[in-house]
Chains A and B, each alone.
Chain A
Amino acid sequence: MLQVENTLFTIVMLLYFASMLLYFAFIAVKKEGVAKVAVGLQIAGLALHTAALICRGIGAGRLPLTNQYEFATSFAWGLCLVSLIFVLKFKFPVLGAFSAPVVFLIIGYAAMQSKEVKNLMPALRSNWLGFHVSTAIIAYGAFGVSFVLGVIFLLREKMRTHGFLDEHIPKREKLDLIAYRSVSLGLLFLTFTIVTGAIWAERAWGSYWSWDPKETWSLVTWIIYAAYLHLRLRRGWEGRAAAIFAVIGFVCVIFTYIGVNTFLPGIHSYA
């Protein structure tokens, strides 16, 4: 099963890469048919990615959510899923062109991690693992999309009027609203992540909150996005300022995920 997963993972990387190139080509050649093929490849990549994760789960005999490789590949899966939902829901293929490189970077990071399947330490052998980490994947995926939307918003401000892009990038207000929707999704799931993590920590470590660096940075991320939501309600702060906050928020997400493990070891050091 792990061999199958390995093969599927390679195919997924190729599909995501091809999808990314086609999204770029869509902007370059300005043909909607190219975007449709890019979306199709992304859907195929996501389907095989799901299959790869299932194979990994069967091969490892547990949920594939416990080490850097497994979380990175799941993070890429979550980002790909959420971005695809937003691309299809809002008929917004340009979002795919901006999110595809982020997905590819994350899956590239996953490819650099050790794929070795290790037995779980007793603390990780809990049903709460599934709830805690899967909600984090959706949250991170949604924040990734809000980051991409923030970047598109800021670039749109700098862009000269251009018929093709004007047609394919929503107006400022709608762009801001789509970003708000993705932050809402992310914040809701991050709250689930923090609460389920606290319940699990209480059972495993006897304390539901220990100010461990991972916990603290999850809280910092939560606060940044909470500030984003409040800022959007203030006159003059919606749009540009909110877009900047969405970008800062995702920097915090990445720091929580990679930076904390690298620079601030704590009780989450295995993650």
Chain B
Amino acid sequence: MKAIKKTWKFLCSMRFAILLLVVLAIACSVGSLVTQGQTYDWYAQRYSERTAGLILALGLDDAFHSVWFIVITAFLCLNLLLCNLTRLPQLIRRTQAEGRPDGALRTQGDVTSENVPDPEAAFARLHMPKPEPCKTEDGRKALFSSKRRAGLWGAWVCHLGILLLILGFGLGQMTQKQYTVYGVPGDAKPIGDTGWMLEIDDFTIGLRDDATVEQYTAAISVYRPDGGDAARESAEISVNHPATLKGMKFYQNSTGWATRVNVLKDGAPLQDAVVCAGDFLPVADKPDLVVYLNAFYPDYVLTPGVGPSTASADMNNPAWLYSVYYQGRLLGMNALMDGEELTVDEYTFTFTDTQNFTLIQIKEDHFAWLALLGGIATMLGLLLAFYVQPARVWAVQQADGNWTLHGACRKGGAIFREKFAQAAGGGKGQAEEER
């Protein structure tokens, strides 16, 4: 029982919170220093075989999704939750108590100044609300004022915010669905397994006078292929301006080059497809034969010793660098001008109508709002914690008619004591001496 109590106390403690924060900071640093998502060979080549083995064994190749990282984060959530739960009743009591004079009048406060000539003026100088008259237990006259009690809730709201943020992010990661669709205007493709089709109505690249890209804009439509239950919805998306259609969010993600590949077999049309740079095209009746489009060069130049490159962004000499594979074996690699023919056995390939394709990212994250709420709560909590400083000031009239001023401001420390001493205005006492 004692061990359970001790464990519980530790799990709720600030000591545990600090330990978790330090461990989390180290874990994040390691995760960012080790390149993520690489293979054993890659790490072995970069570091050493022994280090590569260690990286994979410890899960450092995917640190932010590893079990140990999730465990640390889960413990942090537990600590935040327990801390907030155990503090809640105390916080409610304290918020109520700090608004009432009875508790304060029984104490001396953090700072005291005797023989204050004009207590009401001291309250005003400390920017306290107008004090309410009250009496001490022994019947002496007193004045009491408190302000900014919302500040007591700062850390609590901040902790709650972090908790919601982690929860929103975690749930989002577990449940979100993400798809990518790419194509050229006129293409209609299925959006993963959602049953919806995405049609790219238009895609434009806005260029400035100096040929730099100003914006990528795509016009898209979403519909059911069977014309089913819902009407077609359309929108224009660009970088920084996503759109929500049918409950999914569409982002203009990136772009690249695509070309129409026309395949003839013994002179007869066999296949016609749009293929993007970096994509493979298996021949329809002989899938072992594959054409891979390596890259596109709008103004192709071949420099000996350097390789292919483009002299400008203009379509002066458009050419594709392609590779041909048969049963996974590279047969050859070369450049093919737009419209030129490539013959492999009985097949003839032509690349025409090269244009930019758009890559559209589609996402469903039903918990992003929770993370946003968490972020807002964290900011609000910090604002309350740092800039809304609760303070109580009270004055008690002594038997000789003079007033003693007391103040309490837990977060104010030495600065509050200085202000207090100045506000007390000539009163000699503890505050003056401490300075």
Binding site for B on A (CB under 8 A): 118-119, 121-123, 125-126, 170-171, 173-174, 177, 184-185, 187-188, 191-192, 194-195, 198-200, 202-209, 211, 213, 216-217, 219-220, 223-224, 226-227, 230-231, 233-234, 260, 264
Contact = CB atoms under 8 A, between A and B. Distances in A.
B363 interface: yes
B97 interface: no
28 contacts: A119-B210, A122-B240, A123-B240, A173-B414, A174-B414, A177-B413, A177-B414, A177-B415, A185-B386, A187-B386, A188-B383, A191-B375, A198-B375, A202-B368, A203-B242, A204-B240, A206-B361, A209-B169, A211-B31, A217-B29, A217-B32, A223-B22, A223-B24, A227-B21, A230-B14, A233-B14, A234-B18, A264-B33
B410 to A, nearest CB: 10
B174 to A, nearest CB: 14
A230 B33 contact: no
Contact of A126 (B216, B240, B372): B240
Interface string B1-43: 0000000000000110110011011001101110010000000
Contacts of A231: 18
Contacts of A206: 178, 242, 249, 251, 253, 361, 363
B386 A184 contact: yes
Contacts of A119: 208, 210, 212, 214
B329 interface: no
B241 interface: yes
B277 interface: no
Nearest to A171: B414
B163 interface: no
A233 B375 CA distance: 24
Given A177-B415, A223-B21, A123 B376 contact: no
Interface of B: 14-15, 17-18, 21-22, 24-25, 28-29, 31-33, 36, 64, 169, 178, 208, 210, 212-216, 238-242, 249, 251, 253, 361, 363, 368, 371-372, 375-376, 378-379, 382-383, 385-387, 413-415
A121 to B, nearest CB: 7
Nearest to A215: B32
A160 to B, nearest CB: 23
Contacts of B375: 191, 194-195, 198
A208 B371 contact: yes
Given A119-B210, A227-B22, A230-B17, A208 B379 contact: no
Contacts of A226: 21
Contact of B25 (A177, A192, A220): A220
B17 to A, nearest CB: 6
A206 B376 CA distance: 20
A200 B242 CA distance: 11
Which of A123, A173, A174, A191 counts the most B-chain CB atoms under 10 A from its CB?
Answer: A191
Nearest to A118: B212
B18 A125 contact: no
Contacts of B178: 206
Nearest to B360: A206
A125 B240 contact: yes
A71 to B, nearest CB: 20
Nearest to B250: A206
A76 B366 CA distance: 41
B294 to A, nearest CB: 24
Given A174-B415, A191-B378, A209-B169, A223 B25 contact: yes
A230 B169 contact: no
Nearest to B21: A227
B372 A199 contact: yes
Given A192-B379, A211-B31, A264-B32, A125 B212 contact: no
B69 to A, nearest CB: 10
A119 B207 CA distance: 11
B28 A220 contact: yes
Contact of B382 (A187, A219, A223): A187
Given A208-B371, A217-B32, A220-B29, A125 B239 contact: yes
A216 B31 contact: yes
User: Lowest 10 A-B CB distances belong to which pairs?
Assistant: A122-B239, A184-B386, A206-B251, A195-B375, A216-B32, A174-B414, A223-B25, A227-B21, A126-B240, A206-B361
